[in-house]
A and B are shown apart, each in its own frame.
Chain A
């Protein structure tokens, strides 16, 4: 699906670390900012927040200033996204755009100021989550890559890889399967277990294809 002209290819592919992937935000030049952006990607329940917590501790002990930012956590959009998800009117286009708005808010208000001030920014999920979810839902990839052309290419992207069997075990042990993480909006089936399995398999395939098209080091989140 990707061509050399794509601003975003694979996990970080063509992006130049610390620069905008595409057209960027003209009124916010970011060149030469001293901070570092580290993205931790992976599907629901894979253990991202645990790794981030441990990484943060280690970095702070070493003396770095660290901030965390996470998908849907913008003060502007979080309540809106919750309301939208609880109704039946969300479609794949508005779904994608709400997340993009949340990301734009966090980019402008959290990520860019922190990079400017020399912090290490740990991002729990990044735009690859959006690309994977949109891929599963059949949203035009080229369009979405253009939309996310205002994103900054991270200095490092971790993809926490897992197989669906291990994932199911972990999710059931902790908080159980939820509507959206099971892709119930896609109507793959009435049974939440079957839907979770089918949906997460598709998601993992999307992530994997992005990881394959970049030079990521493999370090599975699940011991095999």
Chain B
């Protein structure tokens, strides 16, 4: 619960200082992870799914949400190839499912991916196949942005009298 609430606090702070002001000014905000990360991770940790959704009800609904999907094996292989030291919470070590960080990561993140699959349905996330090359992915992402975000309407505004 504290894990969930601390992240929500951090999110609320960033929402009010970093996200809402540029939106009001008519800018495009790119968010690296959003409330959906919390929905997936907190549910995997056993927090009530509906409660987390209500907790984040103060969040702005994105115009477009991209979900980069990879199978758990690809994710583990990539991290291992870069010899990344797995972080305690990222590997879900707090849950005590395995004493081996890699095994724990596999178990925990595997369940997180299952949660994401549900979120894709529930919130209509756009899935990007992240197994492909970086160029391919970026090309697809640009197509999606063109399709879903009415870019022609995006312009800086400063129309309110101060």
Contact = CB atoms under 8 A, between A and B. Distances in A.
Interface of A: 22-27, 76-77, 89, 91, 93-94, 97-98, 100-101, 104-105, 107-108, 140, 143, 146-147, 149-150
Given A97-B9, A97-B12, A26 B2 contact: no
Interface stretch (B52-60, B62-70, B123-131): B52-60
Interface of B: 1-2, 5-6, 8-9, 12-13, 16-17, 45-48, 50-51, 54-55, 57-58
A218 to B, nearest CB: 34
B55 A108 contact: no
Contacts of B16: 91, 93-94
Contacts, number: 60
B48 A143 contact: no
B47 A105 contact: no
A76 B6 CA distance: 10
Nearest to B6: A101
A25 B9 contact: no
B1 A108 contact: yes
* Majority-rule SS of B interface residues: helix
* Majority-rule SS of A interface residues: helix
A27 B49 CA distance: 12
A76 B1 CA distance: 12
A98 B50 CA distance: 20
B12 A93 contact: yes
Contacts of B12: 91, 93-94, 97
A174 B37 CA distance: 47
Given A89-B13, A94-B13, A97-B5, A146 B55 contact: yes
B89 to A, nearest CB: 14
Given A89-B13, A94-B12, A22 B5 contact: no
Given A23-B48, A25-B47, A150-B51, A100 B5 contact: yes
Nearest to A74: B2
30 contacts: A22-B51, A23-B48, A23-B51, A25-B46, A25-B48, A26-B46, A27-B45, A27-B46, A76-B2, A77-B2, A89-B13, A91-B13, A93-B12, A94-B9, A94-B13, A94-B16, A97-B12, A98-B9, A101-B2, A101-B6, A101-B9, A104-B2, A108-B1, A140-B58, A143-B54, A143-B57, A143-B58, A146-B51, A146-B55, A150-B51
A12 B145 CA distance: 49
A108 B47 CA distance: 13
A22 B13 CA distance: 26
A26 B46 CA distance: 6
